[in-house]
Structure formats: C-alpha cells, structure tokens
Amino acid sequence: MADREGGWWSRLSHVGGPVDASGYRVAEIGGLSDGLWVVAWVHVDDEVIADARFEVYGALEALAIADWLAARIIGHARQAACRINARDALDALGLPAEAGGDALRIEDALRLALSCDAIGGRYEH
C-alpha cells in the first residue's frame, strides 16, 4: 500500500462483478450512506471456490482488502474459506487499523455469499 497514488487499484484482479453471473452465489451488504457497499460474488464447484470477486464502493483500502481476500480463497474449500480472517489483510497489505471495519464488513459479505453460518464455519474474532 506504499504506492497509494500509483494506480495499483486499476490492476486488481478480483474486483468488479463477473462478466457472466450465472452460477455465482451473491451477497450484498452496506450502501452509499454507509460509506461502504460490497457485493460478494463466489462461484463454488463441488465445495471448492472456483472464483471469487467483489464489487466495492468504498475507500481504496476496501478495494485492496477485497482483492486480497478473493485471491486467498480461490481454489480452497468452502469451509476453509469461511474461516478466513479478513483482518489479516491489514498486516499483509500494511493498512492502518482504521481499515479494520471495512475488512470485517467485506468478510461478512463473503460469509453471506458462502452461506458460512449454514456449515458452522464462523471465524472467532
């Protein structure tokens, strides 16, 4: 994140909705008035995350967290994905603690999309 002004946000691979939404699970949290609006798109094949993407209206830190989160879960089992802690993104990306709220809400959107509560995969923060 040292390159805050260097255009890195345009090179994130996992932000933006899928070109073809068929087969994706989707969950949405937040809104314009919340300062963060996240739509999580996940494609699960045989309990494995085949693709994950996020639409994000938020600060650049939120885009980075969403992209980091998606990259971490693709190829992993749904149950394992449900145990990911988005706050780990703060350390990994060198983000300030203030971005933690956005991280938790992005994680919430992902967990909703994955129906994590239904499989008992809640991460204990």
The residues of the shown chain that bind other proteins, judged by CB under 8 A, are 4-7, 9-10, 12, 15-17, 28, 32-33, 35-39, 54-60, 62-63
Pick between residue 78 and residue 90 the one whose CB is nearest to other proteins. Answer: 90
Q: Which residue has the tokens 């209206």?
A: 57
Least distance in angstroms from the C-beta of 108 to other proteins: 15
Q: Which is nearer to other proteins, 72 or 78 (CB)?
A: 72
What backbone phi and psi angles, to 5 degrees, belong to 120?
Answer: 70, 35
DSSP string, 94-113: T--GGGHHHHHHHHHHHHHH
**Given the complex with other proteins, which of 9 and 115 has the nearer CB atom?**
9
Min dist. Cβ of residue 68 to other proteins (A)? 14
3 state DSSP class of 68: helix
> Nearest distance from residue 66's CB to other proteins, in Å?
8
Least distance from other proteins to the Cβ atom of residue 9, Å = 6
Q: Is 35 exposed, middle or buried (0-12, 13-18, 19+ CB in 10 A)?
A: middle
**With respect to other proteins, which residue has the nearer C-beta, 24 or 54?**
54
Rounded distance between C-alpha atoms, residue 44 and residue 51, angstroms: 7
